Chains A and B, each alone.
Chain A
Amino acid sequence: MPAPAQHRLIFQHIDEPGYSNDIECYLRNGGYEVLKKAVTQKPEDLREEVKKSGLRGRGGAGFPCGFKWSLVDRKSGKPIYLIVNADESEPGTFKDRYIMHQDPHQLIEGTMISCFANDVKQAYIYIRGEMPEGARILEKAIAEARAKNLVGPNILGTGYSCEIYVHRGAGAYICGEETGLIESLEGKRANPRIKPPYFPAVLGLYQCPTIVNNVETLCHVKHIVQQGGAEYAKIGTPGNTGTRIFCVSGHVQRPGYYEFPAGTVTMGQLLNDVCGGPLPGRTFKAVIPGGSSAKVLRFGERYKGKRKVGTDMVDYDWGVEDVPMDFDSLAMIGSMGGSGGVIVMDDSVNMVEALANINAFYQHESCGQCTPCREGSLWMKKISSRMVHGEARKEDAALLKSVADQIPGRTICAFGEACSWPTQSFLIKFKDEFEGYAEAKKNLPADRLSLV
């Protein structure tokens, strides 16, 4: 079955010739019309539309956005803050950067609508430290929007006022974790907070109720308000509404970003039809479907079970290529849709070395608060690096797996899972390769690229 056509909703204007990131261009293309419409509506009605849309967060966890908004403590009398999580740091993910660089006003419009819907007077865009250009563009875009009375005091004469501030991180992955981000925004070290009691919806930024949404999620809000929640929910599949952006990187002919109605494209269609298949003479070996922390899938393995289609339970028997690229299907087969960063590895990749690379990243990004993640991530990195650069032992495979098993579910934030899932899944699916690495290493070409 050929892949369905792309549905460019969020990425409608990305890389469009002649489209620029200034407000004039955005206005020419119908920009801010939705905001103008939204501010005439009741905030609770807007929230209801978002609930109806079934929108799930695009930052990685896929948490229902309307539900998240409904958890906000609106009775405390404290101000409600909205934070745009623009800390896009998950390796393999590069969708938010495109939005901010090429279509910043879409984000600002979505943010302003979301602020209005939640009675937010102050919003922050927390942008990753490594994106200075994005920060500059956003600053400029906000200034432009303010000049047009779309951001700031008394927006469009409605009496509603809201400011947006851009805050740059200092380059830490953990700042993408919402409570770590809040700590960082407060000027502190980005150690994620314990939940309970510090749920952002109740005790977030400055101990006030806070909404933290991903860049793409807020862009979707604009389209939901534009079309109506029910209409938006028709895009995609039930439970996975709207469009999904995939950032495909690695060993395919045409890596890049692709936007489809959620759940309508399978892994096989995405990699073979859309991305042109493996490089000449190569075959696919493995794919990580949702950013590098997602569990790896091995080509050739089968996933069997029962799933709900409509109201019926039907059997499924999928290969990697058959898996629909939606949150629920990927979760069913033991991985996750995550941030949509699809990392493809072909048969030229040695999985031990690939894991050594991933482990080095997560070790470097652990905040160091919780013992299992802090010590486990470094230990796994030390083992996998030693295997690659020094002596590899057969028992290292079992040791790596065992170390990884001591981490997830035992930490304050989800970084414990993020740093251990790669090792767990690599060791389950490519155990032979790890156990035989000492032997295999002898035959590797001496001039091969060394790991950084």
Chain B
Amino acid sequence: MIAAPKPDLVTVNIDGVDISVPKGTNVIEAAKLLQKDVPHYCYHPKLSVAGNCRMCMIEMGTPAFDPATKAPVIDPATGKQKINWIPRPQIGCGTTVSPGLHVKTSSPMVKDAREGVMEFLLINHPLDCPICDQAGECKLQEQATGYGRGYSRFIEEKNVKPKRTQLGPRVTLDDERCILCSRCVRFSKEIANDDVLGFVDRGSYSTLTCHPGKKLENNYSLNTVDICPVGALTSTDFRFKMRVWFLKQTNTVDIESSVGVNAVVWSREGTIYRLTPRRNDEVNDTWMPDSGRILYKQVAATDRLTVVKLNGSDTSLDIALHAAAALLKAGSVSIVGSGRASVEEQFLLKQLATATGAQGHLVARTATGDKLLISADRNPNVRGALVTALISQLPCAELKQLSREIDEGKIKTVVSHGEDLLAAGLTAAQLAKVAVIYIGTHVNATSAAANIILPTLHTFEKAGTFVNQQFRIQKFYAAVPAPQGATNDLVVLAKLVASTGTHPPASEVHALWPAIATAVPALSTMLYKNIPDTGLLLDATPWAGLPFVEGETLHHKPAAPVAAEAARS
């Protein structure tokens, strides 16, 4: 490993404390390192600096030098270099650190400036917090409390603007609440590459809108809702559904592709209300695709599998497992794992494969990547199956080998972990020739044809890990309880392993990990609880030669040139 070069450090003084920060850091970020809050609205760490809200104003001074000799001017009172304080406040977001820069983040000048800006921001704001979705996570509320005067001097009529503009299929705009910070405009242009937002009219009458004939309908539109510091941009899906302070936050990972976008599930009393991105500067910055956010609807979908079935009849889990054991013991088993299953599940499935002498298969799921946060590989955890040795080669879209083996009569039982075998290239006739054990969450053609159905949990109902395209192992947690009738995949898999006469290591994530660490070389140094929330990079060398399908995404560059995506999809 080559050590990364140390960034040039610059020492600055913030409220009397010296701190060394990388060159190019701005005052807001430098102050954050000292736990000093510099309130702001328009500044966003992942967007260009606009400098328009004027909330982050700070007092600033630079060391004095004699203009003639260039020698430092020493203040006789302190014996230190004199500081030339600028007599007017400067914006923290637009000020990058320079050697010896002095900053005051709470001087009377700063306090006065913030109070002025807070008052100005509120005079034309509707103050409809009681009916506003942003209430509880609103920067305007927080900073008015923290930095405002607490009373109003405004007796004029407030401006009137449109209250419910549909900017696109998923975003509703309340223009009266908008503080014109332009974060959404910059996001659309700079990150989503879909420059559809802009302001019309002037001054305080400025109004956010879409360009004529355009809509905010790109797959990243809901990020504008996330970064809107006030309640102007709201998610049409989440609007008026639930107060945010009632919601429990659970870390999760976006399951729609191998990017592994870090996200948060917001739920209350077993019901999920929304998904939002979670910052990970190595994976998704602060962004998330819209398509990943609606996946929570799968949890409460009407086609969930909640009843254990044996040959079409309802039964108990024990009876079904008993029947499954008989099939597995009979031999001629093939196992179709899933790139959507967790590392832990894939590990147990590999145990099952070993115990039954079956070969593990995986179904590839590919489509064109968007070069941002959705990759060409639409399975979140193909690499987990490689790491756990469930498979040794990259999966194909069709189960050709299995198809051949069924035709040749070599296979009598197929275990599918959530994969629709018909969609994966098998025919109904082929399925009819074998016994199918289906372990999954939703109804599909395979579950309809299965001899045994073992209902299991959705990602948001269980804990585990995925290995993303960077070979970064990332954790997700159970956000909501499972529906009645569904059993944790690990429990089901462990029982199946046990039914073959092999003692399964464990049936719970934490308990399973020592066994995983022992058995899987790439994971030998870690335990579930030790994996940080932003993930851990694995050594990918053993798989470096595989022709992965992903092209470039936000924070991933494929090591080797990728074969044309279109040819694979």
Contact = CB atoms under 8 A, between A and B. Distances in A.
Do A and B actually bind?
Answer: yes
Interface of A: 172, 189, 191, 194, 196, 363-372, 374-379, 382-383, 386, 399, 402, 406-407, 409-412
B89 interface: yes
Given A368-B180, A375-B121, A410-B88, A194 B205 contact: no
A407 B89 CA distance: 11
Contacts of B159: 378
B66 interface: no
B408 interface: no
A409 B55 CA distance: 13
B380 to A, nearest CB: 40
Given A372-B120, A406-B116, A366 B203 contact: yes
Contacts of A365: 202-203
B124 interface: yes
A130 to B, nearest CB: 16
Given A379-B120, A410-B89, 17 more contacts: A189-B198, A194-B51, A363-B204, A366-B203, A368-B204, A369-B52, A372-B117, A374-B204, A375-B124, A377-B203, A378-B159, A378-B205, A382-B156, A382-B157, A399-B153, A406-B113, A412-B51
B206 interface: yes
B255 interface: no
14 contacts: A194-B50, A194-B51, A363-B204, A364-B203, A366-B203, A368-B203, A370-B53, A371-B54, A372-B117, A374-B180, A374-B203, A375-B120, A407-B116, A410-B89
B238 interface: no
Nearest to A419: B203
A382 B203 CA distance: 13
Given A189-B199, A371-B52, A194 B94 contact: yes
> Which interface residue of B94, B117, B203, B204 has the most chain A CB atoms within 10 A?
B203
A376 B122 CA distance: 11
B283 interface: no
Contacts of A376: 120
Interface residues of B, number: 36
Interface string B32-54: 00000000000000000111111
B52 A375 contact: no
A378 B204 contact: yes
> Which interface residue of B53, B119, B159, B198 has the most chain A CB atoms within 10 A?
B119
B94 to A, nearest CB: 5
Nearest to A174: B202
A189 B201 CA distance: 10
Contact of B113 (A375, A402, A410): A410
Contacts of B204: 363, 366, 368, 374-375, 377-378
A359 to B, nearest CB: 12
Interface in B119-149: 119-121, 123-124
List the 9 closest pairs (A to B, CB-CB), nearest first: A406-B116, A375-B120, A409-B88, A368-B206, A366-B203, A382-B156, A378-B204, A194-B51, A369-B52
B179 interface: yes
A5 B438 CA distance: 103
Given A196-B94, A375-B123, A410-B89, A363 B203 contact: yes
B240 interface: no
B8 to A, nearest CB: 18
B185 to A, nearest CB: 10
A371 B202 contact: no
A378 B203 contact: yes
Contacts of A189: 198-199
